[in-house]
Structure 1
Amino acid sequence: MSWKTFPKIELHLHLEGAADPAFIRGLAQEKSVDIGGIFDEEGAYKYSGFGEFLQVYEAATQALQSPEDFQRLTQSVLENLAEHNVVYAETFVSPDFCGGRDLGAWREYLHAMQEAHVEGVTLKGIVTCIRHFGPDKARETALCAAETAGDWVVGFGMGGAEDAGKAGDFAYAFDMAREAGLRLTSHAGEWGGAQSVWDTINDLRIERIGHGVHAIEDPKLVDYLAETGLVLEVNPGSNIALGVYPSLEQHPIAKLRDAGVKVTVSTDDPPFFHTDMTQEFEQLERVFGWGVDDFHALNATALDAAFCDADTKEALAKTLEN
């Protein structure tokens, strides 16, 4: 079966990280921004290891300088999602890269992003603070999120380097977002081990974990996740590309799912990791033998865990049935 036409839901997609290299290169040339060092001879993003990946990621965002740039970026991302029949996606977007966390500027960027549209794809935003930028900037990001919570901004999260500070340092920001009615997720357990997942659950009181794969190292944590239904946003292709696991055969997604943990599948930063949702499905079929029933089940889990409103979920459920 061709998985390209199979409807999909994606919950873990960084907007800036979904920018094709050619798109970023074109923007940089328009603005005379010199970021040539971040591309290899084939024109792909060039990095070695997670630390360098973060540097290249942040360098690429230098080409994104205006609300119009983000409108064009969002349009490009929507078109890529449509190509792989992703009918619903939630994208992480950072006010850090949209006007430097200034609320007035953030509103302008947000409006521009919402102008992008592709028939058949619903996109919602998760405002995301950057952990290695520190707790004070996270509070400013949370204020941007809280002041623009609504139909498009449906969640608040945290990305960046997991070893920067403690999860509890960011509790104020997450409390602010929670009080504004936003749903909460955070990266953990990608690099930090099972304890980072525990800390994030206990200190930030989130309902989804970005990555979370190292939870497999702690049987008590696996049991807790299965019992509570806390959802993992798993990104297998990303994990392999960055060396979190050496191969998909050694990736724990199937073991976690078999243990009753609710897992979803996403691409994270697809052009950086040379992946897309079709390829993710193809690889899971190749390695674990997953088929139509498994991917319907993944979609059901993702739809249930999505941060959008009930009416949107109802409409998506009908799309997924067709």
Structure 2
Amino acid sequence: MSFQSLPKVELHMHHEGAAPPAFIRGLAKEKNVDISRIFTEDGGYAYRDFWHFLEVYEAATSVLTSPEDFRRLTLAILEESAKEGVVYAESFISPDFCGGRDVAAFKDYLAAIKDASDEAERDFGITLRGVVTCIRHFGGDVARETAKCAQETAGDWIVGFGMGGDEKAGNQSDFKYAYDMAREAGLKLTTHAGEWNGPDEVREALDALKVSRIGHGVRSIEDLNLVERLVEEKITLEVCPGSNVFLGVFDRLENHPIAKLRERGVNVTVSTDDPPFFRTTMTKEYEELQRVFGWDETDFADLNRVALDAAFCNADTKARIAKLLEPKDV
């Protein structure tokens, strides 16, 4: 069976970070904005390391300036994801890039994104839900404004709250107030931790923010007591192997701990993070995991069941997606 046609659930994808380079180049050309420096000769995104990646990321998003831009972006993202067999995805959506954290403006952006999501569900068979995301290196006070946007839009489509950005900036506990705001609005919670910083970062995220999922979390493997806690508390890791290798968190997939974490009973899932930036797709992730760890269709079916169980959407949506994950009669 082709991995591309295997139905997949993706929980960790940054909305702007999934923008196809050709889409961003075309939009920049329409607006007469010169961001040619951020592209390689073959048309991909060009950057040196994670911190330069953040700069390039923000340069790419600088041409996304209106709800209509995000409507078109969403369609482009979901068409690509659907081609890779993704039937359900959650995307990190930042009010910082959608209206400057103004609630009214964010609602306009969100309406455009949701309109495109509905169109993609109808045309491509992929379901999208949003996770409002604050940016760590902007600080805790700014995150409160982001959380206000999350509070005002929480519901069946905006289903979660999270945090991305530079893990070296500040502490998880700096964002406790913002997370409390999101929790009070009924949103489910995740945060990036244990990608660049070690196990203590993951532990602080669990203690301070009370999240049910951890973005990345792969350096938890360095502390087996923490690994046991992840199992006991049924914490799900949103693992992005291709991203981790591309950015140098691990030198090669053979040394990535995803298999060890799974063998120890941790709930692990597979996602692409910022797929065009890291030259990956969900299909490529599956192919590489099969090549290195020998995982087969049964393993990937199990990963997708874990992912759907950890998804932030409502029960009706989960039931509908579960039917799509069922093995097809040959």
TM-score by length of 1: 0.99
Q: Report the counterpart of residue 145 of structure 2 in structure 1.
A: 140
1:29 Cα offset (Å)? 1.0
- Any residues of structure 2 matched to 1:141-220 within 5 Å, and which? 141-220=146-225
Q: Which runs of 5+ in 2 are unaligned?
A: none
Find the partner of 2:275 among 270, 274, 298: 270
User: How far, CA to CA, are the matches of 2:198 and 2:166 in structure 1?
Assistant: 13
Q: Report the counterpart of residue 233 of structure 1 in structure 2.
A: 238
Q: Report the counterpart of residue 75 of structure 1 in structure 2.
A: 75
Partner-residue secondary structure (3-state), 2:129: strand
Find the partner of 1:295 among 282, 291, 300: 300
Task: Give the letter for the 2:66 counterpart.
Answer: S
CA deviation string 1:189-239 (max 9, x = no partner) = 000111100011101110000000000000100111111110000000000
User: How far, CA to CA, are the matches of 2:211 and 2:33 in structure 1?
Assistant: 38
Q: Report the counterpart of residue 134 of structure 2 in structure 1.
A: 129
Find the partner of 1:308 among 303, 310, 313: 313
Task: Give the letter for the 1:281 counterpart.
Answer: Y
Moved more, 28-37 or 256-265: 28-37
Task: Give the letter for the 1:97 counterpart.
Answer: F
User: How far, CA to CA, are the matches of 2:142 and 2:75 in structure 1?
Assistant: 28
1:126 and 1:155 in contact (8 A); partners too:
yes
Residue 252 (structure 1) aligned with residue 257 (structure 2): yes
User: How far, CA to CA, are the matches of 2:103 and 2:320 in structure 1?
Assistant: 32
User: How far, CA to CA, are the matches of 1:135 and 1:24 in structure 2?
Assistant: 30
TM-score by length of 2: 0.97
CA deviation string 1:257-292 (max 9, x = no partner) = 000000000000000000000000000000000001
Q: Report the counterpart of residue 61 of structure 1 in structure 2.
A: 61
Partner-residue secondary structure (3-state), 1:88: strand
Identity fraction in percent: 64
Find the partner of 2:285 among 280, 285, 293: 280
Partner-residue secondary structure (3-state), 1:278: helix
Matched length: 322
Partner-residue secondary structure (3-state), 2:286: helix
User: How far, CA to CA, are the matches of 1:53 and 1:199 in structure 2?
Assistant: 26
Q: Report the counterpart of residue 48 of structure 2 in structure 1.
A: 48
Residue 95 (structure 1) aligned with residue 95 (structure 2): yes
Partner-residue secondary structure (3-state), 1:270: coil
CA deviation string 1:44-72 (max 9, x = no partner) = 10001110000000110001000000000
Partner-residue secondary structure (3-state), 1:233: strand
User: How far, CA to CA, are the matches of 1:29 and 1:83 in structure 2?
Assistant: 26
Q: Which runs of 5+ in 1 are unaligned?
A: none
Task: Give the letter for the 1:89 counterpart.
Answer: A
Task: Give the letter for the 1:287 counterpart.
Answer: V
Residue 7 (structure 1) aligned with residue 4 (structure 2): no
